[in-house]
């Protein structure tokens, strides 16, 4: 079965600093990997995804993530944090074998300090 581990339930960065949110997954077949962002009292918005092809994927709002098969990781980064990036971030995995459900991590709450 698939699973996702997000290290660090809370991450604080200064405005303008690098954002790094960690995600490791387990999957018995090549995974599809996703990052979603959730602002307070809102739904889940897709930031970016990896399905096949280039392992470095770029998403919205300047975020990017790199699929590293050898490390079973899909860490989310942004070179320079903005106040508006403060939110909850969820990593998720699915695969074409299960075909359907997404498995979510427990989430990382990002705080941006002015």
Partner 1 sequence: EPEVTQTPSHQVTQMGQEVILRCVPISNHLYFYWYRQILGQKVEFLVSFYNNEISEKSEIFDDQFSVERPDGSNFTLKIRSTKLEDSAMYFCASGGPNEQYFGPGTRLTVT
**Contacting residues toward partner 1, per CB under 8 A:** 32, 34, 36, 42-46, 49, 51, 90, 92, 94-96, 98-107
Beta strands at 19-21 and 10-14: parallel, antiparallel or unpaired: unpaired
Considering just the CA atoms, what is the radius of gyration of the chain in Å? Answer: 13
Nearer to partner 1, 16 or 69 (CB): 69
Residue nearer to partner 1 on the CB measure, 32 or 67 = 32
Cβ closest to partner 1, residue 5 vs residue 72 = 5
CB of 81 to partner 1, least distance (A): 23
- Helix H, strand E, coil C: the string for 68-113 is EHHHCEEEEEECCCCHHHCEEEEEEEEECCCCCCCEECCCEEEEEE
Q: How far is the CB of 101 from partner 1 (least distance, A)?
A: 4
Q: How many helices (H) and strands (E) does the chain have?
A: 0, 12
Closest CB to partner 1 among 72 and 109?
Answer: 109
Output the smallest distance, CB 17 to partner 1, in A: 26
């Amino acid at each position: 079965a698939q699973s996702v581990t997000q290290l660090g339930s809370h991450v604080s960065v200064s405005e303008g600093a690098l954002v790094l949110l960690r995600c490791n997954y387990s999957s018995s077949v090549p995974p599809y990997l996703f990052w979603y962002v959730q602002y307070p009292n809102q739904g889940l918005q897709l930031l970016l995804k990896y399905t096949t092809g280039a392992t470095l994927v770029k998403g919205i709002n300047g975020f990017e993530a790199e699929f590293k098969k050898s490390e079973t990781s899909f860490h989310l980064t942004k070179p320079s944090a903005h106040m508006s990036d403060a939110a909850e971030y969820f990593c998720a995995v699915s695969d074409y074998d299960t075909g359907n459900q997404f498995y979510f991590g427990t989430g990382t709450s990002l705080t941006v300090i002015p």
